[in-house]
Amino acid sequence: MKDKLIIFDTTLRDGEQSPGASMTRDEKVRIAKALERLRVDVIEAGFPAASEGDFEAVQAVANSIENSTVCGLARALDNDIDRAGEALKGANSRRIHTFIATSPIHMQQKLKMSPEQVIEYAVKAVKRARQYTDDVEFSPEDAGRSEEDFLCRILEAVIDAGATTLNIPDTVGYSVPHEFGATIAHLIERIPNSDKAIFSVHCHNDLGLAVANSLSAVINGARQVECTINGLGERAGNAALEEVVMAIKTRHDVFPCETSLDTREIVTCSKLVSSITGFPVQPNKAIVGANAFAHESGIHQDGVLKNRETYEIMKAEDVGWAANRMVLGKHSGRNAFKSRMNELGFQFSSEEELNDAFVRFKQLADKKHEIFDEDLQALISEVSTDNDEENVKLVALKVCSETGETPCATVTIRIGQDEKTGSATGGGAVDASLKAIEALVKTGATLELYSVNNITTGTDAQGEVTVRLDKAGRIVNGLGADTDIVIASAKAYINAVNKLQSQDFRQHPQSGDV
């Protein structure tokens, strides 16, 4: 029997720290349910003390998930730990993950604390967390640049205090595989009570080594890997869950452990996270990229036709590609629509919500002959963001663009209960439309990113537009989809405007003084 490798997904916490990737409470619940279908062992739902909105999101996830353990992050502070304990109260299985920095530069420059004080805070935090749950995880932040002797001291102390999982984070992505693997092996060997805890790793991808470092740690004794869907995360991201899991599964001859994940759910989960966050997956991304199982070279095509294993080390079906081909159309009924939506992880809260979504589906079906799962994912995102809490809504849009003339746009939007109409010219139809909207809403934000991706193939495919706005350091992503790319752009901009106007400003989980 091989050891069990615990998969700890932090898409909803560390993944959300990507600039513009903040998620609503309902979006977090949808992703959490998709992770549960994927059979992820632990879902880190957020940082409850960061804001009231994040507290409510973690609470909602805890109350919605039945089989996976739900985890909340907390600094080594009493209030943080108490908020996490309260948010997780409704979970069938709960974990509190507390952390404090241990590298010399962090202790001296950020915390202004001595090593002895750091150990004291860590032990106190673990003991307090144990009042809420027996499942407590401790992380020495920036362990990759911490002194090994000090790591041994603090980890031994927190195990004695009741920590059951020790997570070793390469917080700034500084480590290289042989070095990081050796660190894990040394800690397990040197810490007298190491057998009383599971060793975990959390690697960042600043040097493109997050997955390699994680796998090296597994070979050297780590039995939990913290990762995210699509490698989402702050800066260059985290270790990609799909890459770690499929490496373990494909190279079972190398790794002395196995996961319990249903890998057929990987692609669906990837597309959901991409749709909600507005972060597209690059075509050549391993496992979940559009070209991951594509072959254009004649030599490769010939080999695959003769024997798939000549150029493919995995089956596309094993990660969910083949299972993602159900097609709906204009003649599909409500039951088929509702059933497929449920399979994609979206539960309608009322008949009114179902009716609204079905009307949108029929409208899309009039524009497109075939509706794929990717279209439904985009429709779900539209339904979940277009609700009564949205202050600004698109009513009408008219554009004029012809050769030799300056493009212009006239837009009508509803702000609260009032309708406003404005016009603008621009370098193109999209530019004119966004300028017309901005003239009405007057956010004063800077457009940092404008990105267009086709959701499916064909000239009638929906275009998915992502815009990123920055206002005084607050960064939000807006997402919009439509068969008309100009309308999709307007939807995306308005979606971002509504997020900017939201009062729920999510504080960075590691901001503030300890």
If you write DSSP's letter for every residue of 308-362 in order, what string do you get?
A: GGGT-SS-GGGGTSGGG---B-TT--HHHHHHHHHHTT---SSHHHHHHHHHHHH
Identify the CA nearest to 58 among candidates 25, 92, 21. 25
Identify the CA nearest to 501 among candidates 480, 479, 481, 474. 474
**pLDDT averaged over every residue in the chain:** 88
Give Cβ neighbours of residue 299 (< 8 Å, ≥ 6 apart).
Answer: none
pLDDT in tens, 258-275: 999 999 999 989 988 988
Identify the CA nearest to 256 among candidates 283, 295, 292, 217. 217
Identify the CA nearest to 241 among candidates 233, 126, 503. 233
Give 457-465's long-range contacts (Cβ < 8 A, gap of 24+). 460/367, 460/368, 460/369, 461/368, 462/364, 462/368, 462/375, 462/378, 462/488, 463/488, 464/275, 464/280, 464/378, 464/488, 465/489, 465/491, 465/492
Does the pLDDT at position 345 exceed 80? Answer: no
Radius of gyration of the chain (CA): 24
Please state, as a whole number, how many other Cβ atoms lie within 10 Å of the Cβ of residue 261. 23
Question: Which ranges constitute the DSSP H helices of 415-512?
Answer: 429-441, 485-501
Residue 503 has a pLDDT of 64
Residue 303 has a pLDDT of 53
Backbone angles phi and psi of 478, in degrees to 5: -120, 145
CA angle 64-67-70, nearest 5°?
Answer: 65
Q: How far is CA 181 from the centre of its chain?
A: 26
**Cα–Cα distance for residue pair 305/239, rounded to 1 Å:** 33
Residue 478 has a pLDDT of 87
Residue 387 has a pLDDT of 52
Does the pLDDT at position 513 exceed 70? Answer: no
Q: Are 77 and 52 in contact (CB under 8 A)?
A: no
Angle between the 25-37 and 266-277 helix axes, to the nearest 10 degrees?
170
Does the pLDDT at position 28 exceed 60? Answer: yes
Does the pLDDT at position 508 exceed 60? Answer: no
Does the pLDDT at position 420 exceed 90? Answer: yes
Residue 388 has a pLDDT of 42
Query: What confidence tier does 82 reach under pLDDT thresholds 50, 70, 90?
Result: very high
Residue 104 vs residue 364, higher pLDDT: 104
**Cα–Cα distance for residue pair 417/421, rounded to 1 Å:** 14
| Strand order, beta sheet including 392-400 | 392-400, 408-415, 418-425
Residue 160 vs residue 368, higher pLDDT: 160
Highest mean predicted confidence (pLDDT) among 52-66, 330-344, 355-369, 466-480: 52-66
Give Cβ neighbours of residue 85 (< 8 Å, ≥ 6 apart).
Answer: 72, 96, 129, 131, 132, 133
Give 390-395's long-range contacts (Cβ < 8 A, gap of 24+). 390/498, 391/415, 391/416, 391/498, 391/501, 392/441, 392/494, 392/497, 392/498, 392/501, 393/494, 394/487, 394/490, 394/491, 394/494, 395/419
Q: Are 377 and 344 in contact (CB under 8 A)?
A: yes
pLDDT in tens, 166-177: 999 999 999 999
What is the average pLDDT across 342-365? 81
Residue 331 has a pLDDT of 77
Would you call 56 exposed, middle or buried from its count of C-beta atoms within 10 A (0-12, 13-18, 19+)? Answer: middle
Identify the CA nearest to 28 among candidates 343, 279, 350, 273. 273
Longest dimension (CA), the chain: 78
Three-class SS state of 411: strand
Return the percentage of the chain with pLDDT > 70, whole number: 90
Q: How far is CA 469 from CA 101, 300, 477, 478, 479, in A?
A: 32, 43, 7, 8, 11
DSSP 299: H
Angle between the 148-161 and 177-190 helix axes, to the nearest 10 degrees?
50
Query: What confidence tier does 309 reach under pLDDT thresholds 50, 70, 90?
Result: low
**Cα–Cα distance for residue pair 210/227, rounded to 1 Å:** 9
Give Cβ neighbours of residue 294 (< 8 Å, ≥ 6 apart).
Answer: none
What is the average pLDDT across 279-297? 79
Query: What confidence tier does 479 reach under pLDDT thresholds 50, 70, 90?
Result: confident
Q: Are strands 94-101 and 69-75 parallel, antiparallel or unpaired?
A: parallel
Residue 300 has a pLDDT of 42
Does the pLDDT at position 389 exceed 80? Answer: no
